[in-house]
Amino acid sequence: MHVPAPGGGRRRVRLVVDFGPASVVSAIYHWRIDDRLTPRAITTRLHGIPDPTLLPVDPTSGLPRPWAPAAVARVLANPVYTGATVWGRTRAGRPVPPDEWVICLGAHQPIIDGRTFHHAQLLAPPGAGIFSAQLPPWEFVDPPTDPGNTNGGQGPIT
């Protein structure tokens, strides 16, 4: 769910964490880094989770669908889980190098820290890791507190 930030323009969005799916994202990074599992092996582990609310949702039908290695790889390559918001990943339907992305650090509550994200990128197959001078692992910070947010930043991410 997109949550408009107080005082922001109509395009400003702040995401908040849904702790069920966030625990799956955290586990995916843990299994990749600590257990050195591939996206395919992580998918096999995820299939052992019986809770259907922790499955990815098909954007077209809105129904849960099983985890696939490509979905796990997308999670591992997405800096949004560090609290960053990223624009400009594609131009005219073609991928743009990460150094050309527009990145807003600390835009929302992180699920993983920047060092964890960076470590996962180091384990990615050659040419698949997301590396950018805009994504130094030591510069990911907690988002600023938002006095207008009365629920303490808790709520769903979609």
67-76 pLDDT tens trace: 999 999 999 9
Phi, psi of 86 (to 5 degrees): -125, 135
Consecutive H or E run containing 4 = strand 3-4
pLDDT tens digits, residue range 83-124? 988 899 899 999 888 889 898 888 889 999 988 998 999 898
pTM for the model = 0.73
Give CA 24 to chain center in angstroms: 11
